[in-house]
Amino acid sequence: MSLESLVEEIRQHAEAELAATLQNQRTEEARIQSERDQKVTEIRASGQRATDTEVARERAQRLAAAKLEARQLLYEARERRLEDGLRETRSLLSAYTSSPAYPSVLKRMVDAAYASLGRQIRISGRSEDAAALAKVAGKAFDPTPRSILGGIVAETTDQSRRLNLSFDELLRLREDEVRELLA
């Protein structure tokens, strides 16, 4: 073997090793590039999922807030309408005290007070009703005026029991029923 053949063989062996190393390097570069692309794709997908989740959550919160506000506005409107209806009812009751039928209602209230509390009672009402109550209740009439829409307030003389038949109290006791009728 000559020196030239030995050099040629070493050169060929070195070239083969260089080719194998270059091939390994290209393979490793391709693998690293593939891993990098895969990680970038995963990160983008994860970011998109997080964004979609946040957008959906924000949308749900806004929708819930809008529904709550709509219910609140509806409730407030209904309450205003009911309050207007109750004010109108009070106005009608106040107007009823001027009607010709009102004295007979006072008479029935006085009779109910006697039936409920007995004969030893004091009956009072509005100052505008003093003449009618004095006529209907007789000696049981108490001239102390009450600030009520109409009707009477009856008490036993010892003040142990009281029967409030004022329009205010009757309306208050039946306010839920009136609200149902107005709704």
Residue 152's domain is classified under what CATH number? 3.30.2320.30
* Structure-token match 């964004």, residue found: 51
pLDDT digits (tens, 9 = 90+) for 20-35: 888 999 999 999 999 9
Rounded CA separation 150/128 (Å): 9
pLDDT beyond 90 at 64:
yes
Q: Angle, to 10 degrees, between the axis of helix 175-182 and the axis of helix 3-96?
A: 110
What is the H or E stretch that residue 119 is in? Answer: none
**Is 67 inside a domain boundary?**
no
6: buried, middle or exposed (CB in 10 Å: 19+, 13-18, 0-12)? exposed
Percent of the chain whose predicted confidence (pLDDT) is above 70: 99
**Is 115 inside a domain boundary?**
yes
Six-digit token pair at 114? 């006697």
pTM (2 d.p.): 0.60
Q: How many Å is the Cα radius of gyration of the chain?
A: 48
**Is 25 inside a domain boundary?**
no
**Is 173 inside a domain boundary?**
yes
**Cα-to-chain-centroid distance, residue 116:** 43
pLDDT beyond 80 at 68:
yes
- pLDDT level of residue 174 (50, 70, 90 thresholds): confident
Return the pLDDT at 1: 61
Rounded CA separation 152/48 (Å): 75
| Total structural domains within the chain | 1
**Is 139 inside a domain boundary?**
yes
66: buried, middle or exposed (CB in 10 Å: 19+, 13-18, 0-12)? exposed
pLDDT beyond 90 at 9:
no
**Is 113 inside a domain boundary?**
yes
Residue 96: how many CA atoms within 13 Å on its side-chain side? Answer: 17
What is the H or E stretch that residue 151 is in? Answer: strand 151-156
**Is 30 inside a domain boundary?**
no
**Is 51 inside a domain boundary?**
no
Structural domain for 136, as ranges: 97-182
